[in-house]
């Protein structure tokens, strides 16, 4: 993952005051995990707008943990793995929550397995990244992207879709696109 994206830059100043404090990147990763799980639960309850705000906060915390790790020199292999697992859990469960929340909408009960398929594909992508890193070293599984943009930044589409009431099209796209991406990886 790139470490100089627009989202990383947006949190950089906010982590500087934490550099010489007892706060560690793993504390921020835990806050990311808790806020991401809360967002997934809010999506499941069909509280789209609250879920959008919570997921956006979770995304920013995801960028902040890495920024603090690099700025403070507090990075560790375990912290890197914890970050990957937290990120994958939040992103995968967001889609499961979206599917549950949309069960009374356009797709009916099929929305639930659609969310599960999208979430499972995200987990497969983590498995692929972890396997590549085990074989070729840390960061070997990173996907190349446009300048100042990382493929993980595309998750910004989740809160945007929630605010625009485009959750059903997002779920349909993720149900097809995430497995195709996982298969291609």
Going by C-alpha positions, the residue among 158, 152, 185, 153 that lies closest to residue 174 is: 158
pLDDT tens sequence across 79-94: 988 998 999 999 999 9
Top mean-pLDDT range of 12-16, 130-134, 147-151, 158-162: 158-162
Mean pLDDT throughout 106-130? 92
Query: Is the pLDDT reported for residue 180 higher than 80?
Result: yes
Higher pLDDT, 183 or 177: 177
Burial of 180 (0-12, 13-18, 19+ CB in 10 A): exposed
pLDDT tens sequence across 43-78: 999 999 999 999 999 999 999 999 999 999 999 989
Query: Is the pLDDT reported for residue 121 higher than 80?
Result: yes
Higher pLDDT, 39 or 151: 39
pLDDT class for 151, splitting at 50, 70, 90?
low
How much is the mean pLDDT over the chain?
Answer: 89
* 102 token code pair: 């949309």
167 C-beta neighbours (distance < 10 Å), count: 24
Angle at 29 between CA 147 and CA 10, to 5 degrees: 35
Mean pLDDT throughout 165-178? 96
Query: Is the pLDDT reported for residue 135 higher than 60?
Result: yes
Please name the residues in contact with 105: beta carbons below 8 A apart, sequence gap of 6 or more: 111, 167, 168
Query: Is the pLDDT reported for residue 139 higher than 70?
Result: no
Domains, the chain, in order of start with CATH, read 6-184 (1.20.120.1760)
């Amino acid at each position: 993952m790139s470490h100089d994206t627009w989202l990383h830059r947006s949190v950089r100043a906010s982590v500087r005051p934490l550099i010489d404090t007892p706060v560690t990147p793993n504390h921020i990763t835990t806050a990311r995990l808790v806020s991401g799980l809360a967002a997934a639960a809010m999506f499941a309850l069909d509280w789209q707008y609250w879920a959008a705000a919570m997921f956006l906060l979770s995304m920013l915390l995801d960028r902040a943990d890495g920024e603090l790790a690099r700025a403070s020199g507090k990075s560790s292999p375990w912290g890197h793995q914890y970050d990957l697992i937290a990120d994958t859990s939040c992103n995968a469960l967001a889609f499961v929550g979206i599917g549950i929340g949309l069960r009374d909408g356009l797709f009916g009960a099929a929305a639930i397995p659609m969310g599960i398929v999208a979430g499972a594909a995200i987990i497969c992508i983590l498995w692929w990244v972890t396997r590549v890193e085990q074989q070729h070293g840390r960061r070997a599984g990173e996907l190349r992207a446009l300048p100042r943009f990382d493929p993980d930044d595309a998750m910004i589409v989740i809160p945007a879709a929630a605010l625009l009431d485009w959750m059903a099209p997002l779920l349909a796209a993720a149900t097809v696109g995430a497995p195709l991406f996982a298969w291609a990886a």
